[in-house]
Structure 1
Amino acid sequence: MLRMTTPPVAKRIPFTRSFHGDDVVDDYAWLADRENPDTIPYLTAENAYTEQATAHLAGLRETLFDEIKRRTQETDLSVPSRKGDWWHYSRTEEGKQYAIHCRLRAEPGVTTPPETKDGTPLPGEEVVLDENALAGDEAFLSLGAFDISPDDRLLAYSTDFAGDERFTLRIRDLGTGKDLADEVPNTSYGTAWSADGTELFYLTVDDAWRPHRVWRHTVGTPADQDTIVFEEPDERFWVGVGLSRSEAYVIIQASSKTTSEVRVLDAAAATGEPRLIAPRRDGVEYSVDHQAAGPNRPERFLVLHNDGAENFTLATAPIDAPAEWTPLIPHDPAVRLADVDAFAGHVVVHLRKDGLTGLRVLTEGEPDRDLTFPEAVYTVEPAGNPDYGTTLFRLHYTSLVTPDSVYDCDLATGELTLRKQQPVLGGYEPDAYEQFREWATAPDGTKVPISIVARKDTPRDGSAPCLLYGYGAYEISIDPWFSVARLSLLDRGFVFAVAHVRGGGELGRHWYDDGKLLRKKNTFTDFIAAAHRVVEAGWTSTERLVARGGSAGGLLMGAIANMAPEAFRAIVADVPFVDALTSILDPSLPLTVTEWEEWGDPLHDPEAYAYIRSYAPYDNVEARPYPALLVLAGLNDTRVLYHEPAKWVAKLRAAGANDVLLRTEMGAGHSGPSGRYDAWREAAFATAFIIDVAGAAPA
């Protein structure tokens, strides 16, 4: 249990917000001002208080960190992927925080990747980029771009040393290993090379940190001479840029939450003008890949779209008439088509069916082939595949009990070859664990899937502690995944469960639509129903149930804390989006305008205002019993600004919630610490809290 000392008290300075006839007093609005002389001292005091209140867990945290470290093969090497004349891979070294990116000359005709058993450097390798050397003494490092030119001469890469996702773009000569003078500050994710490697396309952002401009940079020239290739004026739309898998086209995509529009530019004529595929129409989303001519087909675009097809359909379009779409895979209301990869001789479609991910191979003149896997609950997804001419398809496979496994699929036969499975040191035995699928019933009668994993010897009489995880937004699916850190919970008798609530995409587009806008509360009631179900089924008891979620899942955590605090012993909220109404009312903030199609527009729509007001966690804090709370934040977070969790904690304390802890990473952003050892310590901190409040037994 927590050993509570005297918590910090945030001063109260009333600030009145008035919209649509509603006057709301916010006592902690001042925390949004990072330059306020009291803001950083308050966050620092909260960190000190949290450290003091959990000091009795210091030994357990160290034990958990050691368990993660002992189970991890620290010196390791990814399975090399071939592209052209090179094998590309990354490796890690014991004691170093970050990856080292490498390449190795490939022998002609060899498709089997080099052996990588012990993780040591491969003979003859070239180091392309060592993130450890880049980081130096910096406490944080994140790469935004890592893009090798089609002729293998140059590397475009970008770095962020604060966690605020503001990247500086540079170009490295791979022949010399030296960076060129080219440097572009304040760029976003996404780059694309011209066919000859002389032009580089990149993105910049507006004041709300929305990627809105595509630029063309000529290698060897100053950045102030770069040219704007495309600019998106509509604040609902984000812009992305990349190469088609064939590397024949630069693809520029503008997308809102409900509508998209694509332009293409011949990569061999990179100074030309982008060409529109099809003009945007409200509610129609589409994406494009390119496939060169084959023995029995013309050159074509592949268009994945939802025009008249809720779960999307795949079409083809002529190069000279790209708005004319001919169905290739008809719409199936039971199958959500998620993405498509075009290769010289095949097409691979990523899909979702029955709540699980899948892959379908399309070969000219042959029946479509769905790849099959043995487990009842699993995740399968593409893994790289940079070579357009390959006859092998690289994929990742994992489940709640199966470590991440890298396979090559022979596209002609469907045969799978295991190239590597994530090592789990210390004698991990998958057969000691079981995974299950449960179903909860939501208040409106909807069946909500729950994925569960536990040791086989875990009792099913309600006595086991349980961690229930949830997200539920943006059509993002929380598919089953293996976690080394999770073993520390399972081996202490925990049940781990994922509630696949509405707002995610696990059961198709309707599952997302039923958990957004004026149906957002379904996300919260689904999770509460899942909490009741794991108790009713004997997996745990209310007194030993801990909930966890982050970002939009942190909004979920805040909502359930208000709606059903009695259902949980504790809640862990990572970078939680808890001051949702205030943020969505401010169009100057990052993400706000683009997300009105996700949450509603409370600034202009009174109905949306009233609905968000009714569930926003910060606005609905009251004097009621709350479960114990651990709230994790990042000072440099540009997605959920640090002051949202800080204000929430202050208001909870003022309402009498005493078992509340706030921990702010003072040198990181939305994703927390960047180095792997730092991330393991962060995982150990939260896991120790969970073990303590749930009263788990020793491992």
Structure 2
Amino acid sequence: MTKISEGKPPVAKKIPHKFEKHGDIRVDNYFWMKDREHPEVINYLNAENEYCDAQMAHTKDFQKDLFEEMKARIKEDDSSVPYKYNGYWYITRFEKGKGYPIYTRKKDSLDNPEELLFDCNKMAEGHNYFKLVGISISPDNKLVSYGVDVTGRRNYTIHIKNLKTGVVAKDRVLNTTGSSSWANDNKTLFYAKKDEVTLRAYQIYKHRLGQKEKEDELIFQEGDDTFGVAVYKSKSRKYIIIACYSTLTNEYHILNADKPNEKFEVFQPRVRGLEYSISHYKEHFYILTNKDKATNFKLMKCAENHRVIEDWEEVVSHREDTLLENIDIFKDYLVISERRNGLNEIRIKRWDETQDYYLPFDNETYTAYTGTNVEFDTEVLRYGYNSLTTPTSVIEFNMRTKTKTVLKEQEILGGKFNKENYASERIWATANDGTKIPMSVVYKKGIKKDGTNPLLQYAYGSYGSTVDPYFSSIRLSLLDRGFIYVIAHIRGGEYLGRQWYEDGKLLNKKNTFTDFIACSIHLIKERYTSSKHLYAMGGSAGGLLMGAIINQAPELYNGIIAAVPFVDVVTTMLDDSIPLTTGEYDEWGNPNDKLFYDYIKSYSPYDNVEAKDYPNMLVTTGLNDSQVQYWEPAKWVAKLRDMKTDFNKLYLKTNMDAGHGGASGRFESLKEDAEEFAFLFDLEGISS
């Protein structure tokens, strides 16, 4: 490997590794990077980090300034809006100068003394990475179970703490999702365990207080490796529910939470292509489902003791123009989260049918969602609202009187932010097949559409995951320096309904990439920017998007940020020992089938690197990433270095202590944001 002091990038050695499938031979010169324990692999990643740091050394002071600027907008001594559950008010707060949350509660009244549940700042001491998830309080309020990950690999150890004494019990369970649910006896805990190699959640266990892990009882095991499992408690607190899920199919099992030693009953056996989710209310289950080709889903119900699918009754019918996304059930009200023409809508219905209305929202670049609504017997709905120009508000809405109270609006500190200084709009590009593709755009008022503006175009475009137009205080550092920011709502998400997702996966996956390129062409044509000033960013499956667009249309972009990119699609999807692979077949296709093999290979970024000019690029990853393994971006960068014909920048930055989500801690991730922004600003000649 070339020494960094010479100012040259590391050169990874080549060891040809042959893959043969369907009579097709692929040669991977960098397959050796898959061994995360091998010193040469670690040395290579470190060498790339050193090269990146050396090449960006002149931006270090600017990065520090950007970090401080972003941090200064955030209220350090902040706290969440309290919510009440089972007699206690629960609060998450942050203290000045500390990077992790503190979880507390107060009994009955917010005027009562605070009880400390967890101080994650103390718990994180001595760890380079720390994450606490899955806080679950026992019905008698005396115990709490929770999951801890100290590697970033999303492999959690469950602990149990006595909230009266503060003592953490010896009970602990390894290799879990971190979440767990208490039966109503306050002694029995259900949790999901992961496969140690693939990290697929596939087993549900029952733990009784005081037991050792090896004594826990296996309740359910998922035999289909395309499915995962989870366990949770119904909002009504009557049922423990096991969820079995894949991309296209669901199955649930239920157990009365008062009877933890009885057997779970299947709710509705899985039928390939039948998706459903369940909520319990009084004597009925309410079912959000795509039954009978309800592409955008409909709401049905059945008696809790008569769940035969043929007897499910329709509550809210399917509509071609409206996607049913979620429901919240209250004693007197049903709240339905919908999406129409890309926009969030919240519908409120009384069970007695005396009221049925929508909350009013009045622009095209907003995000609205129901929030923490754990209380059942209340007429108050809590929801969140923000837009590209408006910080997040937590709002309490009285569903009977239709009056609202803003409980909290995100404070943007520093005294410089005024939402009136920014403008947002929704515009539409035309894809290759004539489909109109929406984009949400935000910028600082006063810019001219003359082709000289730097513009960052962002998208994800997979798994039906929709990137709504949300507010970001971090993004202000871009906008205030003249950048336009665009979210492209490309196919593969569900912005325009479920069909929008169907049209961007499997053998339609290329629509995701060509939609993004069509948006870029439109932005250039309409003089928002030019190819000299256009930048693109995506992470994970959005990183696959970045890899595809630079193979297809590299000339459109001056720079690319690919975060934890999924780029070696064929090899990964043929390796069922890798976390997530088997559960992804319904998203990408199974390349053991030649039809899918050929299609995936035709767009897989790693397989399609060519000897040609590529944009400037910053590629990031985490050594402990459980979602997209570090070797994918590492191999991709090595291959790009070897084949590209330009002298543009190409950096690989690996966080050696973190996983898919990047650094832990409230402010550590801002350092990664500052580095990414500095990369863009440097390409634009912006240095302050």
Query: Is the TM value for this pair above 0.5?
Result: yes
| Structure 1 residues not aligned, in runs of 5+ | 108-113, 115-121, 293-298
Matched, 1:382 2:394: no
Counterparts of residues 45-444 of structure 1 (less than 5 Å): 45-107=47-109, 124-206=113-195, 207-292=197-282, 299-308=283-292, 309-323=294-308, 324-364=311-351, 365-427=353-415, 428-444=417-433
Cα distance in 2 between the residues matched to 1:644 and 1:627: 19
Counterparts of 2:601 and 2:182, CA distance in 1: 46
1:90, 1:497 → 2: CA distance?
32
* Conserved? CA contact 1:140–1:673, under 8 Å: yes
Which whole-Å CA distance do the structure 2 matches of 1:694 and 1:505 have between them? 34
The AA in structure 2 aligned to 1:128 is: L
Q: Do the aligned residues in 1 keep the contact of 2:59 with 2:687 (CA within 8 Å)?
A: no
Q: Matches of 1:537 and 1:270 in 2, distance apart?
A: 62
SS in 2 for 1:676: coil
* Deviation string, structure 1 residues 356-394 (Cα, Å, up to 9, x no partner): 122111212224221122332111112211112222111
Taking structure 1 as reference, are residues 134 and 451 closer, same or farther at Cα in structure 2, changes over 3 Å only?
Answer: same
- Aligned residue identity for 2:674: A
How far residue 190 of structure 1 moved from its aligned partner, in angstroms, is 2.8
**SS of residue in 2 equivalent to 1:557:** helix
Measured in 2, the distance between the counterparts of 1:204 and 1:561 equals 39
Write the deviation string for residues 125-157 of structure 1: whole angstroms up to 9, x where unpaired: 111111111111211111232111222111110
Letter in 2 for 1:305: T
- Tell which deviates more after alignment, 300-309 or 373-382: 373-382
Q: Does 1:628 align with 2:612?
A: no
- What is the aligned partner in structure 1 of residue 40 from structure 2? 38
Alpha-carbon distance change, 485 to 4 in structure 1, aligned in 2, over 3 angstroms? farther
Question: How many angstroms apart in 2 are the aligned matches of 1:182 and 1:135?
Answer: 20
Q: In the TM superposition, what is the alpha-carbon distance from 1:37 to its structure 2 partner?
A: 2.6
Q: For residue 269 of structure 1, give the secondary structure of its aligned residue in structure 2.
A: coil
Q: Do 1:493 and 1:697's aligned partners in 2 also have CA atoms closer than 8 Å?
A: no
Residue correspondence of structure 1 range 6-21 to structure 2 within 5 A: 6-21=8-23
Mapped partners of 1:421, 1:458: distance in 2: 28
**Kept after mapping to 2: 8 A contact 1:493/1:696:** no
Q: CA deviation at 1:496?
A: 0.3
Helix, strand or coil for the counterpart of 1:69? Answer: helix
CA contact (8 A) 1:465 1:695 kept: no
The answer for the alignment partner of 1:481 in structure 2 is 470
Paired residue for 2:437?
448
SS in 2 for 1:137: coil
Contact 1:286 1:306 in 2 (8 A): yes
Question: Does the 8 Å CA contact 2:504/2:512 hold for their aligned counterparts?
Answer: yes
1:598 pairs with one of 587, 592, 601: 587
Q: Which residue of 2 aligns with 1:539?
A: 528
Q: How far apart are the structure 1 equivalents of 2:686 and 2:317?
A: 51
Q: Give the distance between the partners of 1:322 and 1:69, measured in 2 at CA.
A: 52
Change in 2 beyond 3 A, CA 1:137/1:123: farther
Displacement of 1:4 in angstroms is: 10
Aligned pairs, number? 676
Moved more, 587-596 or 646-655: 587-596
1:675-696 deviations in Å (ceiling 9; x for gaps): 1221111111111111111344
Counterpart contact for 1:543–1:694, Cα < 8 Å: no
Contact in 1 for aligned 2:389/2:424 (Cα 8 Å): yes
2:193–2:202 contact (8 Å) kept in structure 1: yes
SS for the counterpart of 1:530 is helix
In the alignment, residue 634 of structure 2 is paired with which amino acid? A
Counterpart residue identity of residue 369, structure 1: Y
Residues in 2 aligned to 1:35 and 1:175: alpha-carbon distance in whole angstroms = 43
Superposed displacement of residue 411, structure 1: 2.1
| DSSP 3-state at the match of 1:87 | strand
How many angstroms apart in 1 are the aligned matches of 2:331 and 2:179? 24
Q: Distance in 2 between matches of 1:678 and 1:572?
A: 19
Work out the CA distance in 1 between the residues paired with 2:521 and 2:354: 48
Cα deviation, 1:334-376, whole Å, max 9, x if unaligned, reads: 1111111222221211211110122111212224221122332
Q: Is the 2:346–2:358 contact (alpha carbons within 8 Å) kept by the matching residues of 1?
A: yes
Amino acid at match of 1:60: F
- The CA deviation at 1:230 is 1.4
The superposition leaves residues 195-236 of structure 1 with CA deviations (integer Å, 9 ceiling, x where unpaired) of 232111100012321111111111122221111111110111
Aligned counterparts of 1:222 and 1:595: Cα–Cα separation in 2 = 34
Runs (5+) with no aligned partner, structure 2: none
- CA shift, 1:568, in A, is 0.3
- The answer to whether the Cα contact below 8 Å between 1:569 and 1:694 also exists between their aligned partners in 2 is no
- Separation (CA, whole Å) in 2 of partners of 1:687 and 1:613: 32
Tell me if structure 1 keeps the 8 A contact 2:462–2:541: yes
CA distance in structure 1 between the aligned counterparts of 2:359 and 2:22, rounded to whole angstroms: 53
Q: Which residue of 1 aligns with 2:656?
A: 666
2:603 paired with 1:615: yes
Q: TM-score, normalised by structure 2?
A: 0.97
Counterparts of 1:205 and 1:40, CA distance in 2:
27
Within 2, Cα distance between the matches of 1:471 and 1:16?
Answer: 32
CA separation in 1, counterparts of 2:461 and 2:183?
Answer: 38
Q: Distance in 1 between matches of 2:684 and 2:170?
A: 55
Does the 8 Å contact 1:302/1:316 carry over to 2?
Answer: yes
Distance 1:39 1:56 in 2: 28
Q: Aligned residue for 1:680?
A: 670
- Which residue of structure 2 aligns with residue 117 of structure 1? none
- The CA distance in 2 between the partners of 1:4 and 1:249, in whole Å, is 65
Aligned to 1:568: 557
Q: Is the 8 A contact 1:245 1:341 kept in 2?
A: no
1:415 is displaced (CA, Å) by 2.4
- In terms of mean alpha carbon deviation, does 674-683 or 364-373 score higher? 364-373
Q: Return the alpha-carbon distance in structure 2 between the equivalents of residues 144 and 103 of structure 1.
A: 17
2:639 aligned with 1:651: yes
Per the TM alignment, residue 697 of structure 1 is displaced from its structure 2 partner at its CA by 7.5
Q: Normalising to structure 1: TM-score of the pair?
A: 0.95
With over 3 angstroms needed to count, the CA separation of the structure-2 counterparts of 1:411 and 1:195, relative to structure 1, is farther
Q: Is the 8 A contact 1:545 1:694 kept in 2?
A: no
SS at match of 2:64: helix
